Amino acid sequence: MTYSRTQTGHLLLCIGFLLPSLIVETTGETVQNVESKLLLVMFDGFRHDYLDKTDTPNFDRLLAAGAKAAGVIPAFTTKTFPGHHTVATGLYQESHGIMGNNMYDPEFDATFNQGTAEPRWWNYGGEPVWVTNQKAGGRSVSVFYPGARVNISGQTATYYQPQYDESMPFEERIDLVVGLMASDQANLGLLYFHEPDSTGHLQGPDSDSIVEAISMCDTTLGYLLVSLTEAELIDDVNIIVTSDHGMANVAAEQTVFLDEYVESGLYFYTNNDPVFGLWPYNETDGSLTTIYEALKDAHPQMNVYWKEAIPEGFRYRDNRRVSPILIVMDEGWHVWTNRSVEGNWMTYRGNHGFLNTLSSMQTIFIASGPAFKSNFALTDSFDAVDIYNLMCHVLDIDPAPNNGTFSNVAPLLSDAVTIALPSFAALFLSLVSCKILLD
């Protein structure tokens, strides 16, 4: 027996209920009293200008039907887990607490990596959009969105993968999400794809391989649009396509090795190359000052900060997980411990983590659906923290406290969508209207 694409999606949905290794869910209930549907699509490492590198007919189709921005300015540091959690919560990293793909917490005396799903790390601050959606009566499905499988504020996403599996085909990821949304078992979908980030790291953002990866992402988007069409969702679902960070060229010969300047036995570190956090083994013997003095002027492409002197504009200072000394490399440069330790500096031709104000770190943003304008281009970039408020507005739910500014993204919305006024303003306008009618 053969199946159409839509039937295949429903078949995979059924398999998902039977095999927890594919997807986890506790009940078979449908969404109650929720009309708005939103699909957030994250292409990891999709730089704002990648669409200029090759033909992308499916992205072009989405652009013609929707609205785009010149780019999105991610939060610093421009790494995967922090970037995703900023989009999800509307908070800067110093507020939501996911400070890097790797972290150290002095209160826990423990380290965090991308496989860490302990709730204590993720419940530092903020509320991700799937939790906000579910508190309002919605249901959410995530395929590999960072943090969605973690109990945050008492909830995981309604549906989620228990473990990250990079080998899971992109089409299968789409089938699961579209199937759940088509059967009204979820009104919010979150899709994660690890390209073009993986190719950008290994081959660089200006390589022929990145062009192939962009084309593959376009094909993936095309499959999604066809799937939504066949599921009769294309006119009802709002789609946001964006990313967590961009990508810059790097080279092995542009690496600073810390052991050439300071004794390695004085410190331990959190590695988010090109950002390193340095922590002293002994906080009372003056070694922290020794480390700083040895490194502060060691290399012209290496910026070394005392924690309290980290620029306020980084929004990366006021958190206990920020190290006493922070190293931030200039664009295109690695930082590593020593030449004998294998790592990214040897293999990467592209990297991210650099200052978020760099053009190379900005990401793509396209939004399409009934909530958004058609064939509209916003000439400015906005901050990643603004996306959470936009998603809540589209879902017609009240946002949790956040660092975003709704007015930055409001121009993307269709003329049919009005901005909710505070109750006192609505009352004032009603009184004015009544007076006009009486007059």
Is 80 catalytic? The answer is: yes
Options 56, 77, 78, 80, the catalytic residue: 80
Helix (H, G, I), strand (E, B) or coil at 201: helix
DSSP secondary structure letter of residue 206: T
Distance CA 408, CA 381 (A): 9
> How far is Cα 418 from Cα 77, in angstroms, rounded to an integer?
34
Measure the CA–CA gap between 349 and 92, rounded to whole angstroms: 28
CA distances from 370 to 36, 67, 218, 264 (A): 10, 11, 22, 57
Closest CA to 124 of 92, 168, 149: 92
Q: At what angle do helices 170-182 and 208-230 cross, to 10 degrees?
A: 30
Residues in the chain: 439
Who's near 206: CB < 8 A, 6+ residues apart? Answer: 249
CA–CA distance, 322 with 306 (Å, rounded to integer) = 10
In this structure, what are the phi and psi dihedrals at residue 50, rounded to the nearest 5 degrees?
Answer: -65, -30
Greatest Cα pair distance in the chain: 84
DSSP 377-398: EEEEEEETTHHHHHHHHHHT-P
Q: Which active-site residues does the annotation give?
A: 80
